[in-house]
Structure 1
Amino acid sequence: MQMHLTTSAHPGTPPARELQATLGTHCIRLYRGAYLDTRCAENERLTFEDLHACRTFAVMQRNAGVVSGVSAANLHGFPLLRKRLEGDVVLTRKYRGTPGAGLRIRRSPISDDEIETRYGMRVTSARRTLMDLAEQVDAYELLAATDAAMQQGFNPELLPATGRHCRTYAWIKEHASGRSESFAESWCRALMAGAGLPQPLLQVDIFDAAGRFVGRVDKAWPELGVCFEFDGAVKYQQHLRPGESPADAVMREKQRERALLDLGWVVTRAVWADLQDAWRFQSRIHADMQRAALLPSPRGDWKLGVAQRFQPRDFSTLLGVAADSPYPALGIA
């Protein structure tokens, strides 16, 4: 994939009409004078994160301001819902001006210590980005973004203790964890917290009575004998072993669950559809905990496993600018 910017700063790029005619269906208009050539190798896939990053880069070639909100969160590598990435690019500056199609401008003061550079663009810092997200997204989305920020070294205690959204920030400080490995895991924890459930331990390794490793679970309440697993759409494809098919992975997962049940653990599961119905999700876990309370404690042992770091997407190749490139990458046309 390649981006084409038909501006005065890029005299070698063909005119827009010629570019669109040449690329045909492989041409995506990103913004005024900016197009994306989607012809790519078979192993490349244009994600919603990629597309929003390209639109953000294109917008910044023609507009002054600081990338903020969901657009900054995307460049930081914070996970977001698809509907957020399909929205407008968000810039913050002291004057509003005329935004135009595909661009939303927030008029707000912003200090130098709230700005950093990513891919040659001025972008709000992690702290300011999370504070802006508090204005735009639901609490569970903010929790997922904060979890990812913690993996990059951010301390939630830096969020304000007073003022607007202080209650939300206090909740985030209580529940955020750098051990969360996915957006779905964060969403599940938000629903659990909303139901008044005790906070689970994350990424727990479970062993049998002989000390043999049985498996790692997403969340667990060892004192209750309950563990939790989220089954995402790509779970059985991301963790395939060499020569293993998705069907083999499903069978391996069933065998692992059987081993957990044999040790006396109560296993509760959820899929994406369950997250859309908070009452059903919460009621199921409550019921499983009540059932576990009537059973003997699980045999064997457990310990916290090593959490896998969330790897934010690197847009360097796509944008043609290194992540640590200084500002400005290109002049505003």
Structure 2
Amino acid sequence: MTGYPTDRHGLIYRSTALDAGFTDTEITRAVTRGDIVRVARGAFAPPGDRTPEQIHRLAAIATSELAGGSVVVSHQSAATVHGLEMLQPSLRRVHLTTGSPAGAHRTTTRHEHVGVLADDEISIVDGIVITTLERTAVDVACTTTMGFAGALAVFDSALRLGADRAEMQEMVQTTRRGVGRARRALRYADGKAENPGESWSRAQMIEAGLSSPRLQHQFRDVQGNEIARTDFDWSGLLVGEFDGMTKYQKHLRPGETPFDAMRREKQREDALRRTGVMVIRWTWKDLQDGRVVPMIREWLARLGLTAA
């Protein structure tokens, strides 16, 4: 694919392509061949290995640009622009807030939410008018289909990115739908949780009434040498680790493969066990199938730790 004009975000717009001498037929053929990828009506991007969140981010930016900045990108769409991590978000539609108390509208590609936004709830990121980080997190927490876990995940992520907890607490003191769940999740939110899988793990522990674990503790051997920083631990005797492939990919060292990172993780786990710490692990599938809480409860009981 060559010659198509792109903007600062790497987007190709039908209007600018036509101005550059391309025809609709050429654009359609380019999409069919995979030379360009349609991300929104009238907007395309060069092909590439993108996550669903990255593709949706481009769609949200394109929608805003095509509207001339007259709409405010919000909810899950604003989250992708801010870089907020969400738990299994629905990214089928670009979400916008109308600034009006009435007139919500939904199509197959757009979801326009009603609501008046205060000036301090709107920001500009990469030239796009979107809801602030705090307002975005609250909107997602109130509307997520993943319930308490989804709300906790987005608040954990917001705090990791530096969101103001006090501002979010003020925002959830309303009567909007889903705000009770959001209020409860914000109470438990902790920026030390490093990804949505860890947030979902903690949500299941909270809802089951398990003893609260310590997050991201640095373990050392008797000589004081660093051994490992763990996802969860109880009294320094039981360690819980959430395993996701993104975890290994995110922390790759130069020249490493995911397999190398997994082997390093195994060595780290062996070092913990040599100090008398029990290590248990779980995956996305374990969370989906409800196996995590029974496993933790069993080991808390075996080790004589408190299990509510």
Specify the TM-score bucket, using the shorter chain as the normaliser.
0.7 to 0.9
SS at the partner of 2:11?
strand
8 Å contact 2:104–2:113 — kept in the other structure?
A: no
Aligned partner of 2:159 in structure 1 is 150
Shift of 1:17: 2.3
Aligned partner of 1:189 in structure 2 is 202
C-alpha distance in structure 1 between counterparts of 2:138 and 2:257, whole Å: 43
Unpaired stretches in structure 1, ≥5 consecutive residues: 295-333
Q: Tell whether 2:232 aligns with 1:219.
A: yes
Q: Tell whether 2:56 aligns with 1:52.
A: yes
SS at the partner of 1:269?
strand
C-alpha distance in structure 2 between counterparts of 1:211 and 1:119, whole Å: 45
Aligned partner of 1:200 in structure 2 is 213
C-alpha distance in structure 1 between counterparts of 2:122 and 2:18, whole Å: 27
Aligned partner of 1:78 in structure 2 is 84
Residues 97, 15 of structure 1: alpha-carbon distance in 2 compared, 3 angstrom cutoff: farther
SS at the partner of 2:265?
helix
8 Å contact 2:241–2:282 — kept in the other structure?
A: yes
SS at the partner of 2:156?
helix
Q: Tell whether 2:81 aligns with 1:102.
A: no
8 Å contact 1:195–1:282 — kept in the other structure?
A: yes
Q: Provide TM-score, normalisation by structure 2.
A: 0.83
Shift of 1:290: 0.7
Selected match of 1:281 from 287, 292, 295: 292
SS at the partner of 1:53?
helix
8 Å contact 1:140–1:186 — kept in the other structure?
A: yes
8 Å contact 1:140–1:187 — kept in the other structure?
A: yes
Shift of 1:98: 6.1
Aligned partner of 2:44 in structure 1 is 35
Aligned partner of 1:129 in structure 2 is 136
Aligned length in residues: 286
8 Å contact 1:156–1:172 — kept in the other structure?
A: no
Unpaired stretches in structure 2, ≥5 consecutive residues: 1-5
8 Å contact 1:5–1:35 — kept in the other structure?
A: yes
Aligned partner of 1:113 in structure 2 is 120
C-alpha distance in structure 2 between counterparts of 1:255 and 1:97, whole Å: 54
Aligned partner of 1:89 in structure 2 is 94
Residues 135, 247 of structure 1: alpha-carbon distance in 2 compared, 3 angstrom cutoff: closer
SS at the partner of 1:84?
coil
Aligned partner of 2:302 in structure 1 is 291
Shift of 1:250: 3.1
Residues 133, 244 of structure 1: alpha-carbon distance in 2 compared, 3 angstrom cutoff: closer
SS at the partner of 1:275?
helix
Letter in 2 for 1:60: S
Structure 2 counterparts to residues 160-309 of structure 1, below 5 A: 160-164=172-176, 165-222=178-235, 225-242=237-254, 244-278=256-290, 280-293=291-304
Shift of 1:131: 2.5
Larger relative contact order (Cα-Cα within 8 Å, sequence gap ≥ 6): 1
Letter in 2 for 1:58: A
Q: What is the CA deviation profile of residues 205-246 of structure 1, one whole-angstrom value per residue up to 9, with x for unaligned ones?
A: 1112232222221111126x1111111124334434455554
Residues 124, 243 of structure 1: alpha-carbon distance in 2 compared, 3 angstrom cutoff: closer
C-alpha distance in structure 1 between counterparts of 2:255 and 2:42, whole Å: 46
Q: Tell whether 2:149 aligns with 1:140.
A: yes
8 Å contact 1:16–1:33 — kept in the other structure?
A: no
8 Å contact 1:78–1:148 — kept in the other structure?
A: yes
Q: Tell whether 2:30 aligns with 1:17.
A: no
Letter in 1 for 2:131: T
Q: Pairwise CA RMSD of aligned residues? A: 2.6
Q: What is the CA deviation profile of residues 178-229 of structure 1, one whole-angstrom value per residue up to 9, with x for unaligned ones?
A: 1121111111111111111222221111112232222221111126x11111
Structure with the bigger percentage of helix: 2
